[in-house]
Structure 1
Amino acid sequence: MKFLTPMLATMVVIFGCAKGTTWVKPSTGFGEVRRVAVLPFQSNKAGLGEEITNRMTTALLQLDRFKVVDAASRLPKQDRIENDLGDSLPDQGLAVSEQSLAANLDVDAFFSGSIRRYGNWFTGKNMNIDVRMISRSGTILWTCNYKTDWAFTGLGTEGSLASKIVKEVVKRLEGSLEIP
């Protein structure tokens, strides 16, 4: 027992802890969702939103469940804004509704969300992601919130944390798609 506690503490420091929640709208017919797009994620760090958007798009393509439409090339210029960090974001309700956004992209649903990075070298690099799958009619079909807790470790680059977080989100989505 005297060796178990230090070993568990070491594992938490090295591998970190993670937690999150997933919600699926009851009676969601995921079979009707064939074409999706991933909108640019909001972020508190320059470039991180774009990186998560790209990784999420790639992960959805690898899932081989949806036809993924390139939102960046099809989103009308007037429906985009830039935040103070230079990330390009969809205009959150000022010029476009979910319905017109989905119609412009010709998709059944789209993914949108935010990613927040916090912490430092000493306390660890932590990230929190919120993802929503929104139908063409504007109804939220699926949500996921996931947070990494890599406290007191400098292990893992920002890119590896981003990969870990996207893999977990897509794994949770895949599990939700299997719900009858």
Structure 2
Amino acid sequence: MTKITDFTVKTIDQEEISLSQFTGKVLLIVNVASKCGFTPQYAALQELYDTYRERGFEILAFPCGQFMNQEFNTNEEIKQFCSLQYHISFPLFAKVDVKGPNAHPLYTYLTEQEKGLLGSKAIKWNFTKFLINRNGEVVARFAPSTKPEQLKQDIERLL
């Protein structure tokens, strides 16, 4: 059986890492974009990270430009924007596709594990969120419009 910790991804600096380094942690995996109406959620995501990190919580952010091209072209631009505008300290990964034939295998897995509205697998927009328990299992999927602060109860239950 596949788990989140079985996947390999590239960091924003193009370093290949295994998600196994997050074994035993509660994860929130989010497809992000720098020029989206939901981009201000970065601030609330950072607040969640600051609040729960010491208790074994991590946010993994995957930039994506598939929705009206609302992400910068290069990983360097993305990294600079997140650092300067939102002081992001949670892990940022290299820009990926989250849907379609070139979707990153992690996102193919996530969407198979937890369907969206009306059983839809496809990610519909930026800032779709997947909550993963300490066993590496996908336990919830949240719409882009779900504000990060609305996830506190779910996160606390898993911690």
What is the TM-score of this pair, normalised by structure 2? 0.31
Of structures 1 and 2, the larger Rg is shown by: 1
**TM-score using structure 1 length:** 0.29
Q: Quick check: which one's strand share is greater? A: 1
